[in-house]
Structure 1
């Protein structure tokens, strides 16, 4: 159960970071209203809070988050921007995700 809770937190944090960053992107790069940038900044701040809900230390959490973020970013690009990941995108994301899960979930010698 702890792994599922941890994965949920990683996914929530990733969606907040990508969603907030996307709103800032739209504001600055696609001339959307200023309030989108403000909302994006607020959502990005929430991402920083949610990430602290993990029980592991900062370095290990953020290293793991990087691999999970790669997968989420590709899914976001596919579903929101119409970007179609190719096999190399998928293979690279799978490698990153496997490595990320090894970093956070493998048992450690005490």
Structure 2
């Protein structure tokens, strides 16, 4: 359940940040900020649903998923295909996120 939750949070965060990027850097209409703010609120809400005992641990594990999702965004929405170094870096990040999420903890 945690991986799909983090994937949804990543999509919401990236979409929200891209809306701000489009407004600021691509000179799109300020109306782009409305869905951007909604997406960022959805991101925060989704990340708060993470079933973990500490917020910092959720943020750390989420970071690895975010890196991979960002490269998917790069390819899907910006038309730039990730190279082998991007993919190796994303795999390393997801592995690290999995280690954080799945490590046995005696609490």
TM-score range, shorter chain: over 0.9
TM-score (norm 1): 0.91
**Distance in 2 of aligned mates of 1:52 and 1:109:** 22
Q: Please state whether the residue corresponding to 2:27 is helix, strand or coil.
A: coil
Partner of 2:67: 70
**Distance in 2 of aligned mates of 1:66 and 1:107:** 20
Partner of 1:99: 96
Partner of 2:84: 87
Show structure 1 runs of 4+ deviating over 4 A.
Answer: none
Q: Deviations over 1:56-97 (max 9, x none)?
A: 110110000110000000010011101111111111110110
Structure 2 runs not aligned, ≥5 long: none
Partner of 1:48: 44
Give the number of aligned pairs.
Answer: 106
Q: Deviations over 1:41-62 (max 9, x none)?
A: 2211211111010111101100
Structure 1 runs not aligned, ≥5 long: none
**Distance in 2 of aligned mates of 1:76 and 1:105:** 26
Superposed displacement of residue 38, structure 1 = 2.4
TM-score (norm 2): 0.94
